[in-house]
Amino acid sequence: MKKSRIYLSLGIATAIVGALVMFVLQVDVRSAAIIGVGMLVTLVVPVLIINIMLNKIDKVELDSKKDLQEAETKLADMVEKFSAVTLLDELTGCSNKRHFIDMLYQQKAMSERGTYEFTVIVTQVDSFDDIVQTEGPGRGDEVLQLYSRIVKAALREVDILARLERDQFAMVLSGCTEDDALLILGRISQLIEQIQVSEQTKLKVTQSCGLTSFHGTETPEDLIEHASQALIFASRQGGDNVAGYNYIAPDVTSV
């Protein structure tokens, strides 16, 4: 539309200039026509050249914007994938240990600002080595994936599930006491027992759990260590057990 207006303006300007030339120089119509055509060519050709160059510049700019948008999209995808890799366990999609510790620091900060409480649990899939030896590593991975999905479904959105090691997981139950955690773990145990390892064996999926609540002095690493110690005790009782950590407050009396 803009180009048509430019050409129309040039045509009108050329006609006016041609008429003025005819009037001033008193030339005949043929000479005026030749002069008009010459003036038209003189005016239009540079405009056409400039227009072609501007079109090329516009195309380059458009291509550049398109390339920039594609680059930004690829970068965003890479950032998203990198974030997923650094925060999530590849097999189960749960949080990894690093992310879990970061979340524990957030939970600790929330608790220190008020009356908020939370419980940390470290769990282990019982007899996992037997499952792998009997059914193979592939089936073992499938059992871990099923286990994590069932646990996630049993937890709330505010809770956190992470995979710490091969067959060990950890949870943060937000706003839960140890008694609340026992009820949740009982429900999870009932659900995971329904996992059928295979039709040939009678292996069942059970879990042993160690738990501890935050008392105000522990670091996130302490909480994981305390729950892990309780887990060791629970596992030694034959599996499918829950044990709590016997917290003793540190002596802060001055000498």
Quick check: 245 pLDDT over 90?
yes
Closest CA to 161 of 109, 217, 207: 207
Which residues share a beta bridge with 95?
Answer: 88, 162
Strand partners of residue 88: 95
CB-based contact 120:211 (threshold 8 Å): yes
Spatial neighbors of 215 by CB under 8 A, at least 6 apart, are 247, 249
63-90 pLDDT, tens digit per residue, is 777 766 665 555 445 434 444 457 899 9
- Which segments within the chain are labelled E, that is strand? 118-125, 160-163, 168-174, 207-213, 242-244
Q: Could you identify the residue written with the tokens 């948008």? A: 69
Taking the chain, what is the end-to-end CA distance rounded to the nearest angstrom?
90
The DSSP line for 178-227 is HHHHHHHHHHHHHHHTT-B--SS---B--EEEEEEE--SS--HHHHHHHH
Read off the pTM: 0.66
pLDDT of residue 104: 95
pLDDT tens across 101-141, in order?
Answer: 999 999 999 998 888 999 999 999 998 999 999 999 999 99
